[in-house]
Structure 1
Amino acid sequence: MKAGQKINMKYLIIGAGGTGGVTGYYMKKAGKDVTLIARGEHLKKIQKQGLTLEKMWDKTEENISIPATDMEHYAEHPDVIFVCVKGYSLQETIPFIKRIARKNTIVIPVLNIYGTGGKMQKELPDLLVTDGCIYVSANIKEPGKLLQHGQILHIVFGVRDKAEFRPELKEIQKDLCDSHIDGTLSENIRREALEKFSYVSPIGAAGLYYHATAADFQKEGEARELFKTMIKEIAALAEAMGVPFQKDMAEVNLKILSNLAPEATTSMQRDIMAGKQSEIDGLVYEVVRMGEEYHVPVPAYEKVAEKLRAL
């Protein structure tokens, strides 16, 4: 790529829920070449009527037309693939990515589970798989319609090894920012992904433990204290892993929480309440395993894990 040369990237987003659907919505609205991979009634509605985004904070909604299909019928070769599925659905994306990717295709997983990029890289050795994470609170309200709970929309991504850096990564960051998404190309993605994990894991775990909504964490009380304690345990793990946090993540995460609608819950809570598969293994039990691996005490996580296993 020559200096200053503009690349028109072809984007594919696997998953059209609160992560992928919202990302695709803003990118398409900004005129980017983006296609969603969806399924079931949600896919049918998007194909027939477009994708609607409702914003909880101002009660507005807007509908846009966006290309959408399923894995079976997608036949293009994207430059960039955002993987925005739940952790338990990750494995089924691997053969699909192998089929559609070109040699230069960049894969950016933005899952809640820490370490996803490295695991995917082992299964996709011929491609560049970065690490990534997203700050957004949203869900599918009904087929064809997404509900965004708060204004934060921040995607962080980057390579684990600086030798893997490619100029296209800066173009991806620019495309995100053009789309009114706060895109950050990280110099230390291991730390930044763990920082995100220090929010999504404690809020999901404590939310389940107390059947809590954002309102319960926005005020002083047992739920808020458990949330802060679990963040401190993740911080201790980060120290042991050689990527110590450089800011007070409890303070950062409480600020994120303060911007959510009081009735907001996590996707893990919603999945479990609906009797669906959930990310409880990667978001809760994995932290207990990490504590054992790095010899870091995580008593709050052990307490929560014990109760959740009993349930």
Structure 2
Amino acid sequence: MAINNICVVGVGGVGGYFGGLMVHSFASGKQISFIARGAHLAQIRERGLMLNTSSRQGLVCTPTLATDRLEDAPTPDLYLLCVKSYDLADVAAQMSRNINEKTIVLPLLNGVDIYERIREELATGIVLPACVYVGTHIAQPGVVTQKGGDGAILCGPDSRHPEFDAAPLLKLFEQAQIQCTWNRDPYPAIWEKFMFIAAFGLVCVASDNTLGEVMADAEALAQTRGIMEEILAIARVKGVNFADDVVERSLAKAGNFPPETKTSYHRDVETPGKRNEGDLFGGAILRMGEEFGVPTPVTRQMYAMIQKNRGISSCAS
């Protein structure tokens, strides 16, 4: 199957990074649509998206179409789904009206139940469980900057479509100089990513510290380790297989980012009135812990502290 029509839904840090690289690599021959909002969209329409990666600065990436209406985009061969988790249900419902049975949906967002949540809205298409490793953010409207991470994607098969041939998708990413790895069981990687982003996200927000500051503080580092061990216990009850050193390896990943790096959750909390992914991390861990009988005292402590600091009387459980 040829992948000639690509739609990037959510052109924030992650969508802007991968979508921008695709636009820059495929100057012609492919239709690439960007779905964005507000001032960011206005700048993309006027000047294109400016992308600064760890190796290349000032890439001007002009998509075929930039819009805030998903229905304006032609039905794609590939969706890069890069929205925040709190927008997932609404966006997936919109996608259900602009999809066919061969459309590939590659979700590049945080969470361990993203496939199931997409399938609640999408009865057709090929949805590939995935995780992504990149530290990016919107530096200003129209500009996306990479601050760390490998810029890599890992994905695996849709259980509804075991016959799916991933070769064209992997070739597409190779041509765009994007590292994409296919794994027959992507869930250990998805859970390991969740372990990293949830633990550091919760502790960074609770302590109001950067990644480097958390790593340098013995108490904060112990709290991060505690949350990771709680996530590990839940995942093992669910049958996810990890190497014995997964917690140490996850802690060490923070060294791949500049010390001043803030998690996306932290940046969102700092923006008055902006929605954030606290429930995806703290709320989800507490709910899964209760469901599977796994104690989660460190997560409960950190999430309660965050809720208190934000003026919320009690935390979700």
Q: TM over 0.5: same fold?
A: yes
Question: Deviation per CA, 1:34-57, whole angstroms, max 9, x where unpaired?
Answer: 2211111101111110111224x5
Q: Aligned match of 1:111 in 109, 112, 115?
A: 109
Q: Once the 2 structures are TM-superposed, how far is the Cα of residue 164 of structure 1 from its aligned partner?
A: 2.8
Percent sequence identity over aligned pairs: 29
Give the match for residue 202 of structure 1. 199
- In 1: Cα distance, 2:105 partner to 2:195 partner: 23
Q: Once the 2 structures are TM-superposed, how far is the Cα of residue 126 of structure 1 from its aligned partner?
A: 2.2
CA pair 22-273 structure 1, distance change in 2 beyond 3 A:
same
Q: Does residue 18 in structure 1 map to residue 18 in structure 2?
A: no
Alignment of 1:173-188 (within 5 A): 173-188=170-185
Counterpart of 2:139, as a letter, is K
- In 1: Cα distance, 2:14 partner to 2:197 partner: 13
Q: Which moved more, 1:61-70 or 1:235-244?
A: 61-70
Question: Deviation per CA, 1:128-167, whole angstroms, max 9, x where unpaired?
Answer: 2221111111110111001210151111122252753401
Q: Does residue 28 in structure 1 map to residue 56 in structure 2?
A: no
- How many residues get paired? 304
Q: Once the 2 structures are TM-superposed, how far is the Cα of residue 118 of structure 1 from its aligned partner?
A: 1.3
Question: Deviation per CA, 1:236-268, whole angstroms, max 9, x where unpaired?
Answer: 111100012125223322332112112110111
Q: Aligned match of 2:36 in 17, 35, 38?
A: 38
Q: Aligned match of 2:216 in 207, 216, 219?
A: 219
Q: Does residue 261 in structure 1 map to residue 258 in structure 2?
A: yes
TM-score (norm 1): 0.91
- In 2: Cα distance, 1:85 partner to 1:35 partner: 15
Q: Aligned match of 1:51 in 45, 49, 52?
A: 49
**CA RMSD after TM alignment:** 2.0
Counterpart of 1:19, as a letter, is V
TM-score (norm 2): 0.89
Alignment of 1:222-241 (within 5 A): 222-241=219-238
CA pair 118-17 structure 1, distance change in 2 beyond 3 A:
same
Counterpart of 1:204, as a letter, is G
Question: Deviation per CA, 1:203-249, whole angstroms, max 9, x where unpaired?
Answer: 11111111110211343522222212211111111110001212522
* 3-state SS, counterpart of residue 265 of structure 1: coil
Q: Is the 8 A contact 1:17 1:146 kept in 2?
A: yes
Q: Is the 8 A contact 2:7 2:73 kept in 1?
A: no
* 3-state SS, counterpart of residue 123 of structure 1: coil
CA pair 36-220 structure 1, distance change in 2 beyond 3 A:
same
Structure 1 gap segments, 5+ residues each: 2-6
Q: Is the 8 A contact 2:99 2:124 kept in 1?
A: no
Counterpart of 2:251, as a letter, is L
